[in-house]
Amino acid sequence: MTDTSGLVPIHTHFEPIAQNYQALLCDIWGVLHNGVAAYDGIVDALTRYRASGGRVLLLSNAPRPGVGIPGHLEGLGVPRDAYDDVLTSGDATRESIASGRFGSSFWHLGPERDRPTFEGLPISQTDEDKADFVLCTGLFDDETETADDYAETLARLKERDLDLVCANPDIVVDRGEKRVYCGGAIAGAYSEIGGRSHYFGKPHAPIYDLARARLSDLEDDQILAVGDGLLTDIKGANDQGIDALFVTGGIAYERCGPTVDNPQSELVTEVLAETDGRAIGAMARLVW
């Protein structure tokens, strides 16, 4: 029976939805884990989906290349056989900056752990005052800082009219019980003062172009995007003409229902409408 209420339907199990799609573009942080441990049921859901013939391409705004993600996921309780491949914002960023599009030298704005984003590329890391462009992978210390701490730095970059390449468009994520800021917060602040920010992860086209290349035998209507980010996962899928399933138990859980596990259709519909988001349905967590 067709739902004529105009409300986004709430699902408790993924299995009835899964049979309509051949592949998932599945977000990682907020869908698979909270930065500390995997969510209950997620490994079972992905494993069962793959056993039924579906493919799982993890699509992440992590600023580091996808090759390093499986080891990290193992430590959080997500085994390698739960998915087929990983594609990150870092992969799309590397491809772009390696071409020399923004220049031959950059200043890295972000933590040392993100060095794999640029290591091995035919461009050179240099000081802020000598760089052709800025590569922002995050905050230097996301445990204590926000974008407000970078006002003076961004003003200097704007004075030099530098491009800022953002390797992680996420604004905030939940790390366990703590909410931390990401590269997208810095890039947004730079844009607000008139600077040029360039993004390569969700919701922007480059990462979806790479995803389609990995799933080149499938049409868009055979692919389902699964994510918790309204301005990244859901907007990205909508802009690309790909169906989206909204996981409410991630970054937006406080606005979707009285508890994490009990999203309300009216509230979910309102939350999606705020960003003109569209979803075939919503689930608290991805469980089979």
CA atoms within 13 A on the CB side of 93: 32
Distance in angstroms (rounded) separating the CA atoms of residues 285 and 268: 14
CA proximity to 195, closest of 139, 138, 136, 130: 136
Residue 147 lies in a domain: yes
Q: Torsions phi, psi of 153, nearest 5?
A: -60, -45
Q: Give the angle subtended at the CA of 262 by the CAs of 178 and 177, to the nearest 5°.
A: 10
Q: List phi, psi (to 5°) of 25.
A: -100, 95
Residue 137 falls within a domain, yes or no?
yes
> What are the per-10-residue average pLDDT scores of the chain (288 residues)?
74 97 96 94 98 97 92 96 96 93 97 95 97 98 94 98 96 83 96 96 92 96 97 97 97 94 97 97 97
- Whether residue 190 is contained in a domain is answered as yes
Q: How far apart are CA 164 and CA 206, in angstroms?
A: 16
Which domain does 175 fall in, by range? 102-199
149 assigned to some structural domain: yes
**225 bridge partner residues:** 25, 244
Q: Residue 191 is part of a domain; what is its CATH number?
A: 3.40.50.1000
> What pLDDT score was predicted for residue 1?
41
CA distances from 161 to 16, 124, 141, 168, 183 (A): 51, 19, 25, 21, 19
User: Tell me, what amino acid is at 124?
Assistant: S
Q: Which residues pair with 109 in a beta bridge?
A: 136
Place of tokens 């799609």: 21
Non-local (6+) Cβ contacts of 5 within 8 A are 265
Distance between first and last Cα of the chain: 22
232 DSSP assignment: I
Contact call for residues 138 and 114 (beta carbons, < 8 A): yes
Q: Is 138 left (phi over 0), alpha (psi -120 to 50) or beta?
A: left
**∠ CA 74-78-83 to the nearest 5 degrees?**
110
- According to the model, what pLDDT value does residue 2 have? 45
Would 146 be classed as within a structural domain? Answer: yes
Assigned token pair, 56: 């799982």
pTM for the model stands at 0.85
3-state helix, strand, coil in the chain (%, to 5): 35, 20, 45
Nearest residue to 157 (alpha-carbon basis) of 123, 187, 195, 183: 195
* pLDDT for the residue numbered 98: 95
Is 113 contained in some domain? Answer: yes
In a domain? residue 126: yes
Assess if residue 50 is contained within a domain: no
**How many distinct structural domains can be found in the chain?**
1
- b vs e for 110-141, b when ≥16 Cβ sit within 10 Å of the residue's Cβ? beeebeebbeebebeeeeeeebbbbbbbbbee
What token pair was written down for 204?
């922007």
Q: Burial-class residue 271 by CB neighbours within 10 Å (0-12, 13-18, 19+).
A: buried
